[in-house]
Every structure is written in C-alpha cells, then in structure tokens.
Amino acid sequence: MSIEEHPVDSEQDLGSIALVTINRPDKLNALNADVMVAIKGMVAWVESTPHVRVVVVTGAQPNTPIEGKRAKPNAFVAGADITEFVGKKSDDIRVMFADNAVEALWNLSKPTIAMVDGFALGGGCEVACSCDIRIASTRSRFGTPEINLGLIPGYGATQRLANLVGYGKTMEMIFTGEMVDAAEAHRIGLANKVCEPEDLLDTTMAMARMIGNKSSNTLRVGKATVRAALDVGLTEGVAIEAEAFASLFDSKDKEIGVDAFLNRTSPEWMHE
C-alpha cells in the first residue's frame, strides 16, 4: 500500500488529501492479510494526523504485461485473496473479523472517498461501501460473487449495500453473484458519480478538495450524525414503532380521536 498527500489548496495551507493506493496489481489488488494490516495502520495514522482532511482509497493500475502476455484488467479491489480461505474454519474467521480493516475504514471519523476504476468485487465492493462516497469510471463493475464460493459477503455488504441500494437489489446481487456496471451502479445509488477513466482522478480530487475546504470539526460531526441514522436497523426500528403505537392505545387522546372520527365531530384534545 502507498499513501500520497495532496494539498487541499495549492495556494493556502488547508491541510492535505491522503490518496491511499492498494498495491497488488498482479492479483487485481485482492485483499490479503498484509493489505488488511496496512489499511488498519493507515486508518490509525489518519486519525492521529490532524492536517489530513479527506482520504481517497483506490487500487493500483495494472502493470505493463510481459511481451506475449495479456494485460491484467483494471481493478479497484477484485475481492479477497481466496488462497487464504483454504483450510480455514469458523474459529479462524471469527478471529480475523474481530478487528478487521474494513470496519476500521468504516469507523474512520474523517470523510472517505472510494475512487473505483475497474472491478470492485466481493471484499472490494465492501471496501467501496465502507467509504462515504464512491466515484467510479465507466469501466467499473461492482458485485458480491461470494455465493459462487458457497459463502455470503462477510465484510458488511449485507448491511451497508442494503442501506445504499435497497433490500431488493441487495438480495439480487447477493443471490445471483452477478455484477452491475458503472451506469447501473450510479442509477441504483451505489456510485455517486461516474466519469471516463481519464477523468477519474481529477473528478475525485475535485470533490475531495471541495470537502477538504470545509471545517474538519463540522465534517466530523456531520459524518457521525448521519451515521447515527444507520445504527438503528429496520427490524429494531419497526419494533420501536410497534411499541409506541401500542402504548398510544392507553392514552386519553386515542379515545377522543377515535370517538370523534366515528361520530364525525372535531376532536378536543386533552394532550394526555
């Protein structure tokens, strides 16, 4: 992994944008144990570095192929490194997930942007979903193909993807394992913006600079406040609503309202 710092403003000292590149192009930037450790280290560094205002996460561009070999496709992150799944049992995975990098990125207090150019599959889609904003090139593809391994997403896609694109589309993506292209990702709300590959860096950095120009304290508070809306899930929220609805049946105003409705009169509330 590499980190480059870019100024928020070329003329004023307004802090920097950290451009973080997951750098395993020969493996389509697949997530392995080393990458996960590096992401957690990056998050800790960003949190402890006041002048970093915004984080942009991307994947390395493909290397130039050896003569006679086909070039690798572009990838943001093409998933987890499946070779690390071999021989693993549930207890091994539970340890891995107890302190995982995708959650660390999700919990970062500063604004994050995923700059997606190419495949964002499996864990790669989840890394993108753990960022606050996603900007994608037209050649990008998003997907959750874990079903083809006899698995489901494990780094939060069942939750964060549903918040972004809705229940039905999430189910379709998880059940089928099929990819969605950049245009569809934008249509369903998975990608905030889509642009041509040659414009991706400029488009992403322009948004990062715009965000970086704002008050970092206000950004932190704004992010935390919006995130709070996600902490109470649909099931819990419906249960809370049902209890509140039921409790109103013990109120005086319920009796007044129902009586007025049935008798076609105007209610005179007691506010009790």
Whether residue 126 lies in the annotated active site: yes
Sheet holding 112-116, edge to edge: 2-7, 16-22, 52-59, 112-116, 133-137, 193-195
| Catalytic residue selected from 5, 126, 236, 243 | 126
Predicted pLDDT of residue 17: 96
Predicted pLDDT of residue 258: 63
Domains assigned to the chain: 2-231 (3.90.226.10), 234-263 (no CATH)
Whether residue 146 lies in the annotated active site: yes
Predicted pLDDT of residue 245: 46
Beta bridge partners of 121: 143
Give the residues of the chain that fall short of pLDDT 70. 233-235, 237-249, 251, 254, 257-258, 261, 267, 269-272
**Residue 102, C-beta contacts closer than 8 angstroms, at least 6 positions apart:** 39, 123, 126, 127, 130, 155, 156
Q: Check if the beta carbon of residue 138 is closer than 8 Å to that of residue 182.
A: yes
**Residue 18, C-beta contacts closer than 8 angstroms, at least 6 positions apart:** 3, 4, 5, 42, 46, 52, 54, 55, 56
Predicted pLDDT of residue 241: 60
**Residue 154, C-beta contacts closer than 8 angstroms, at least 6 positions apart:** 93, 97, 123, 146
| Catalytic residue selected from 103, 146, 178, 241 | 146
Predicted pLDDT of residue 270: 61
Q: Is 91 left (phi over 0), alpha (psi -120 to 50) or beta?
A: alpha
Predicted pLDDT of residue 49: 96
Predicted pLDDT of residue 240: 53
Predicted pLDDT of residue 160: 94
